[in-house]
Structure formats: C-alpha cells, structure tokens
Amino acid sequence: MSDPVVLYRDPGEPTDPCPFCGGRHWHGPEDGHRSPHCTGGVDVTADGFRREDGYVVRTRDDALRG
C-alpha cells in the first residue's frame, strides 16, 4: 500500500487540484487524512497513489507562501 497523496491549501481556501478528479476540495479547518469524496477521474495516479487510500490535507504556512 502506498502512502496517500497530500493536497495543499492556503488558509480559508479549497485544496490545490486533486490528482484523482482535478477538482478543488473544501474541508474543515483541521489538517489530516481524508477519505476521498470526489467522483470521476482516475482511481490510481501516475505515481501509484490509490483513491481508496484517500489523501492528506495540509494547510500552507503563511511564511511559506511569500
């Protein structure tokens, strides 16, 4: 089993485009692992990440956004 993919987001914004469906997802304020809720697209990315494993949401630090 491969590690889940990480979807980054800026504070108060949806995630960067999802590698499974191409959409930008909204989640609660906490970072962490999420079950997939996207439809369409692919079940496995070119890097081998499986949709069934979900993804991890990480909020970018303001200092890193420059």
Q: Looking at the domain assignment, is residue 66 inside a domain? A: no
Q: Looking at the domain assignment, is residue 4 inside a domain? A: yes
pLDDT tier at 2 (50, 70, 90 boundaries)? low
d(CA 18, CA 49): 12
Q: Looking at the domain assignment, is residue 50 inside a domain? A: yes
Buried b (16+ CB within 10 A) or exposed e, 45-60: eeeebbbebbbebebe
Query: Domain range for residue 19?
Result: 1-61
At 48-59, the pLDDT tens digits run 899 999 999 999
Phi and psi torsions of 51, nearest 5°:
-55, -40
Q: Looking at the domain assignment, is residue 26 inside a domain? A: yes
pLDDT tier at 61 (50, 70, 90 boundaries)? confident
Domain count, the chain: 1
d(CA 4, CA 12): 22
At 14-41, the pLDDT tens digits run 999 999 999 999 999 999 999 887 888 9
pTM of the model: 0.80
